[in-house]
Amino acid sequence: MGMLRRRRPLHPRSRRGAGSLLFSFLFVAVFFGLAYLAGAGDSEAANATEPLKQESAKEGSFADMIDRALEKEFPESEQNGGETDPGGFNNSVAEKQAVLETVARVTTKKNETKEEKSFQFHDVFNLDNENRAEDIPTLIDRKDNVFIISNPKSKYPVLQLDLRLISDLVVVIVSATCGGIAFACAGQPVITGYLLAGSIIGPGGFRFISEMVQVETVAQFGVIFLLFALGLEFSATKLRVVRAVAIVGGFLQIALFMCLCGVIASLCGGKTSEGIFVGAFLSMSSTAVVLKFLMEKNSINALHGQVTVGTLILQDCAVGLLFALLPVLGGTSGVLQGLISATKSLIVLCTFLAILSILSRTCIPWFLRLMISLSSQTNELYQLASVAFCLLVAWCSDKLGLSLELGSFAAGVMISTTDLSQHTLEQIEPIRNFFAALFLASIGMLIHVHFLWNHVDILLAAVILVIIVKTIVMTLVVKGFGYSNKTSLLVGMSLAQIGEFAFVLLSRASNLHLVEGKLYLLLLGTTALSLVTTPLLFKLIPAVIHLGVLLRWFTPDSNEVGYKGDNIRSDSANKRVTLMIQGAVHDS
């Protein structure tokens, strides 16, 4: 309550903020109560003394039919991922209570030409073979995990180069450029070209990428700078306008999906905890892909764009709570421990945002003016300082147990309160566009074209079902807050895909044995195909809006901003001129 009293001078409408915060705590309590009931029910079923009766009861149920269909669709060979039988190795390790790793040192022959080119330089300094920058070995374990030696032992302080990483980045950048050019010439969204290019060069395509982990790590800067630029364009006034539907509605749609899938799983004879996880999995939408499309359509400042962005930011904040929920669903921790963890996350989040709010009013304006004065001749120092500030806040957010995305967005919002937000956005836009394309291409590398083609029927049906259900649920939630049918439908269709955070949740759930192999493959393929079909869904939005007008589901509202960026409408003539001027400055 003391924290709420301190926030009142900053926000005149503090009662609504306090209500949103209290709703967040109630939301966490309800979620963990539901998780406890699901975990209790599943544990009782697992510890029952009559397993044969349980198996006979499950036979013939709808869940058993789905389970058999998935077993037929995804055989054991795909679920196991080609892992070898541990045999007596793991048994001997377990008996000795020790952890042993058997690895093989791999020497590639791909760098022979590079070694020949560096031969003269090598002779001049008379360096040993072990000190060559080009000869960086790799280690591979018995599960085919490849490890790159990051700091090989050397007698001299020589510069170490990972030429394979450089080669991989060149391949990703060139392929993303070619894919974007091809789709731009065809009149299609360039995002589709980035995703398709990544799928072609990735493990599911021609396997041009050797160091997947390193490339995906570098590409993560795309999401960071994308949300940083979004924070620069985001207005606190507009956020307060849509905060009710963004905060309460965002939590509500997550709760609806979890409850809906949990009830369906229970009625069909499946595990309630597994159903709740599927609901949390489906509630996530793609922040990077949706923001990229909204920026291309100049719809960030539109009413539905503000609601969509607010909901996406809320989903990013809720990822930490969902991670705390997974061990409870998996039965690895108690509900009290999970509730304490989620409460700590909320306290850390509120404290972190309060500190950033104070800094944005005191230190940030002075720091930006100092950088401007030092960058009178060139903007290089100001650009570097902006990037460093974004990465610093994102890093602090990650160290506090929050997400990198939340920290980068908060960094942008801090600068947006100053009069240098537009200048900062102009400096950061080239960096944002480059890393955003790199990130989308890395997402495409997770898409296995061969796997999608082999199971295209069931995956396509699952994607269509997800799009329909998510559109209906999100439309009803937004409509419940008093928005028009058109705005509600636009928000629902914009958030109808499954986001990239779902990959992280799915990996965590698999490690906790919360989902089985066949369900893991189904969700993985559905998410990948959902990201591929998202550009097509956005292309269909104007046609759906036009169809709705013809069928008189809704009429074009004069007080709402239209979907297309070249058709901005508003109530007031002054507001219309202001929006047009801002759009012109942004385009220039």
Dihedral (Cα; 183, 189, 193, 199), 10-degree rounding:
-140
Confidence band, pLDDT 50/70/90 cuts, at residue 35: low
| Predicted pLDDT of residue 585 | 37
Check pLDDT > 90 for residue 389: yes
Tell me what the pLDDT averaged over the chain comes to.
74
The better pLDDT of the pair 145, 420 is held by: 420
Q: Which of 44-53, 57-66, 238-247, 286-295 has the lowest mean pLDDT?
A: 44-53
DSSP lists the bridge partners of residue 104 as 140
Asked whether the predicted pLDDT for residue 391 surpasses 90, the reply is: yes
pLDDT exceeds cutoff 60 at 317: yes
Tokens representing residue 510 in the block: 């698999």
Q: Which of 107-116, 291-300, 351-360, 515-524 has the lowest mean pLDDT?
A: 107-116
Share of the chain above pLDDT 70, in %: 69
> What are the two backbone dihedrals, phi and then psi, of residue 138, each rounded to the nearest 5 degrees?
-125, 155
CA distances from 199 to 79, 193, 194, 226 (A): 21, 10, 9, 22
Residue with the larger pLDDT of the pair 367 and 90:
367
Q: Give domain limits for the chain.
A: 96-161, 217-587
pTM, entire model = 0.65
Statement: residue 1 has pLDDT above 50: no
CATH 1.20.1530.20 is right for the domain spanning 217-587: yes
How far apart (Å, rounded) are the C-alpha atoms in residues 494 and 45?
Answer: 40
CA–CA dist 405, 140 (Å, integer): 32
Q: Which helix (H) or strand (E) holds 48?
A: none
Nearest Cα to Cα of residue 445 among 511, 509, 528, 530: 528
pLDDT tens digits, one per residue of 217-248:
898 898 889 889 878 876 666 667 777 888 88
Please determine, for residue 90, whether its predicted confidence score (pLDDT) is greater than 90: no
Mean pLDDT of 406-420: 87
Bridge partner list, 140: 104, 146
For 532-563, the pLDDT digits (tens) are 888 888 888 888 888 888 888 777 654 444 44
- Check whether 79 has a pLDDT greater than 70: no
**pLDDT > 50? residue 564:** no
Q: What is the pLDDT of residue 466?
A: 93
pLDDT digit string, tens, across residues 501-512: 777 778 778 777
More confident residue, 581 or 454: 454
> Of 112 and 350, which is predicted with more confidence?
350
> Each residue of 163-202: pLDDT tens digit?
888 999 999 999 999 999 998 888 777 887 888 898 899 8
3-state DSSP assignment of residue 64: helix
Q: What is the pLDDT confidence band of residue 338, given thresholds at 50, 70 and 90?
A: low
pLDDT at 155 over 70: no
Nearest to 132 by CA among 114, 148, 146: 114
**Mean pLDDT of the 123-146 span:** 56
Comparing 181 with 337, which gets the higher pLDDT? Answer: 181
Assess whether pLDDT exceeds 50 at residue 118. Answer: no
What pLDDT score was predicted for residue 81? 52
